[in-house]
Amino acid sequence: MMQHAYIPILGFAAFSGTGKTTLLAQIIPLLKQQGLRIALIKHSHHNFQIDQPGKDSFRLREAGATPVMLISSHRRAIITEFASVQEPKLDDQLKLFDQAELDLILVEGFKSEAFPKIELHRAIMNKPLLYPNDPNIIAIASDTQLLTPDRISQLDINQPNMIVEFILKQFLRLK
């Protein structure tokens, strides 16, 4: 499990195109309505750029500054270049994540790491289920009824309120 998770951490694992981001964008406001302070860590398999070519921060980072902090009255971003290209480990990232003012960290991706997850599944995608090879999956949100072990809760992927209720009652044990 995650040594550097000081608050509950819950992942959303699925194949690309299943709708992880769309579902998270629906459930985060519902969790916030319950008074929870929510953070999100998203794993990207792409060489993303948070700053854009031609901008001062991009030029300074390209010149070799690392980390680079962008800050305004609205937000802060810290961009750090990794010395070697390798897949990041979630627990290493949690060490750098200020958890003091949070109630829950949601994670999109990192599906091969060991921490509690909700698997997302859409029958039309014709992809295999992840839970048989991942004992950390505690629920499956799907658009179809599945035959699963009793230890795995079944949720409707198209019912964000149902997923929020599961998170509150079963995962966080708040209600």
**pLDDT given at position 115:** 96
Domains of the chain (ranges, CATH numbers): 1-43+88-175 (3.40.50.300), 46-87 (no CATH)
Residue 146 has pLDDT above 90, yes or no: yes
**pLDDT given at position 54:** 84
What does the DSSP 8-state code read for residue 88?
P
Query: Measured between alpha carbons, how far is 116 from 118 in angstroms, rounded to an integer?
Result: 7
Phi then psi for 15, rounded to 5 degrees?
-70, 155
More confident position, 72 or 41:
41
Q: What are the tokens at 33?
A: 């309505």
**pLDDT given at position 46:** 62
**16-34: per-residue pLDDT in tens?**
999 999 999 999 999 999 9
Q: Which of 60-64, 115-119, 144-148 has the lowest mean pLDDT?
A: 60-64
| E-assigned strand segments in 9-159 | 9-13, 38-42, 68-71, 76-79, 104-108, 117-121, 137-142, 153-156
The mean pLDDT value for 138-158 works out to 96
Q: Identify whether 160 is preceded by a cis peptide bond (ω within 30 of 0).
A: no
The mean pLDDT value for 138-163 works out to 96
Q: Return all residues near 51 (Cβ < 8 A) that are at least 6 apart.
A: 57, 58, 61, 68, 70, 79
- Is the pTM value of this prediction over 0.85? yes
10 Å CB burial of residue 75 (0-12, 13-18, 19+) is: exposed
Q: Return all residues near 109 (Cβ < 8 A) that are at least 6 apart.
A: 11, 13, 20, 42, 43, 44
Residue 11 has pLDDT above 90, yes or no: yes
Residue 45 has pLDDT above 80, yes or no: no
**pLDDT given at position 82:** 78
Mean pLDDT score of the chain: 91
Residue 47 has pLDDT above 70, yes or no: no
**79-129: per-residue pLDDT in tens?**
888 788 778 889 988 998 889 999 999 999 898 999 999 999 999 999 999
The mean pLDDT value for 160-168 works out to 98
